[in-house]
Structure 1
């Protein structure tokens, strides 16, 4: 069990009567989440002194878990652990004196390689993926365990390298280019229905089904920034991944810093 946050955390600043009223803490009680899920605290009002609020939250863990605060809005902050939570575990939290606990599922880790045009998934350290079907033999990586052929952002709309966390899953969604600053009337604009959409940023980056890009999967990056998969692979990933599981975007041959896997020592 990982225990995060002392039970007697007070949201009263030292020598001050000011209090930070908490509206909610995520993950919620009993929720099953991925191993990279941050602790998200929503306050009832905008916070003027973020440093005091962070000190009041005072997230701790046993075994020791370091992390960092990232403010999403004036009243919403998340504490992002430097390492993944242990998989298949119960995590007990006390944030601002509010006790809660959540569970982690398997460690479903997705790695998108921009240069290699692949999306590789492992579950608890073992490569996994949708069953393979016959395909042209010239397709690189076809049939390799856990390796899905993918297409990332084209040069003018590159997929940003970095570490992400699954925020939500939508079985079907209308994607509108105007939400990312491209007018629908622009030659690069679009408004299309998309299936098996796994959101990994608040600004419109998804892993999703892209039947229109089948001929480019594994060979060319043609998307507007999203990670495009075949319908079968996208469906499998959608049904397998949990909210809070990590997605890492990198380029072949370039080592990118990202959070350590469960059980790794801090560095």
Structure 2
């Protein structure tokens, strides 16, 4: 009987593309016949198939384990470092599929426990190795982890390499909030030229909201030219006070508003009308507080307009618009717009203002003579689109 069992097992292994080596319980076995009755003398062990299989297997697909002539009682898939790939059986337990995809350049060991209709149990083991990634895509996240930001700050993801399969990537970007905030991803071209995805609420965040991004990207292919993601990312931040900065370039006034109440009004001087030195309008979000920095007009295409150290610098766009101290323009504060595009104020007002605002505070800028509206990728200009326009930028529209 043992020789018959051995020859039949070998025959089954020969016709399956990925049959596992099985350790079966001893004793005679009888397979069920077509009408459900036992066919005396037959010995049909459960056979298990795994996909992907072999060496150099394709990554980016779930691991699928199937059984013939039996059911799966458990499946365990682990990589070389012992990390488990979770998954779940299909109804009837004839197959099992991993929740996550197999990642590039990784060896997985699969253990499947089975039971036949007559109660015989077996344990099967095999392994496969996925092909290494040709290119690896990485990303940068804003805001920083565990930071507190203003009510206008989007969750922003900038990718090192192109993302052609935006829908596949967006599906893996899971955002949760402490209060069920409605929001949407939108894809934009970053000022650096890179692909970027921002998650913007429908309206400004509520103060105190806690936000988490779980980017389960490991094993996701970003498409031609972009390569694979080979790790996951987890970050989170908290929204601070409900604070908005309103800038009226026609009145030459900046107003700090907190919880709907005016905290302070500051006389300012914006960009010079009638040319390339005009300021941007629309909603810009405070990107960073940079303190004292060197500002050189040649870096923003203004030839020899200026080259000086500037105090209390607060960046509003990648293209170089700041709010900052501008004591050289003191005679114009509240009277005329005579800057090279930035929003200037006195040293005293700038010191106070710098201490009050935080990254993520929205600056709502209006004025008759400006160079245009802040673009989505020039800093964080998503608020200049309607909610419907922003949702349309998702790769998962509808």
TM-score category of the 2 structures, normalised to the smaller one: 0.7 to 0.9
Question: Alignment partner for residue 101 of structure 1, among 236, 240, 258?
Answer: 236
1:35 aligned residue (137, 145, 151): 151
Aligned equivalent of 2:253? 118
Q: Aligned runs of 1:158-173 on 2, under 5 Å?
A: 158-173=278-293
- Supply the distance in 2 between the matched residues of 1:160 and 1:213 (Cα, whole angstroms): 19
Q: Residues 133-189 of structure 1: CA distance to partner in whole angstroms, max 9, x if unpaired?
A: xxxxxxxxxxxxx211011111122111111111111110111010111112xxxx1
With the length of structure 1 as denominator, give the TM-score of the two structures: 0.73
Cα 1:105/1:250, change in 2 over 3 Å: same
Of structures 1 and 2, the one scoring higher in RCO (CA 8 A, sep 6+) is 1
Where does the alignment leave 5 or more consecutive residues of structure 2 unmatched? Answer: 1-98, 102-130, 217-231, 374-380, 385-398
| Structure 1: distance between partners of 2:100 and 2:240 | 31
CA contact 1:69–1:80 (8 Å) conserved in 2: no
SS at 1:192 equivalent:
strand
Residue in structure 2 matching 1:196, options 288, 291, 312: 312
Q: Specify whether residues 204 and 24 from structure 1 end up closer, same or farther in structure 2 by C-alpha distance, changes over 3 A only.
A: closer
Deviation of 1:21 (Å): 5.1
Equivalent residue number for residue 70 of structure 1: 188
Per-residue CA distance 1:220-243 (angstroms, 9 max, x = gap): 000111011111111111111111
Q: 1:82 to 1:259 in 2, by over 3 A?
A: farther
Largest Rg, 1 or 2: 2
Whether 1:247 aligns to 2:374 is: no
Instruction: Give the counterpart of 1:182 among 280, 292, 302.
Output: 302
Match of 1:5 in 2: none
Matched residue SS, 1:116: coil
**Structure 1 residue 248 displacement after superposition:** 1.1
1:113-144 deviation per Cα after TM superposition (whole angstroms, max 9, x unaligned) = 1111111111222211xxxxxxxxxxxxxxxx
1:53 to 169, 176, 179: 169
Q: Which residue is equivalent to 2:202? A: 82
Partner of residue 207, structure 1 = 323
Gap change, CA 1:46 and 1:206, over 3 Å in 2: same
1:67 to partner: Cα distance: 5.4
Residues 99 and 151 (structure 1 numbering): CA distance in 2 closer, same or farther, change over 3 Å? same
Tell me by how many angstroms 1:57 deviates.
2.6
Q: Is it true that 1:216 corresponds to 2:336 in the alignment?
A: no
User: What is the alpha-carbon distance in structure 1 between the residues aligned to residue 322 and residue 271 of structure 2?
Assistant: 11
Give the distance between the partners of 1:122 and 1:67, measured in 2 at CA. 28
Going from structure 1 to structure 2, the CA distance change for 1:92 and 1:116 (only over 3 Å counts) comes to: same
Q: Matched residues in 2 for 1:86 and 1:71: separation? A: 27
TM-superposed CA distance for 1:199, in Å, is 0.2
Q: 1:80: Cα distance to partner?
A: 3.0
1:263 maps to what in 2?
none
Aligned residue pairs total: 227
Runs of 4 or more above 4 Å deviation:
17-22, 58-61, 256-260
TM superposition score normalised by structure 2: 0.51
- Cα gap change, 1:103/1:60 in structure 2, threshold over 3 Å: closer, same or farther? closer
* CA drift at 1:32: 1.1
SS at 1:233's partner residue?
A: helix
Distance 1:22 1:82, change over 3 A: farther
Match status 1:234 vs 2:350: yes
The DSSP-based 3-state class of the residue aligned with 2:183 is coil
Separation of aligned partners in 2, 1:103 and 1:165: 16
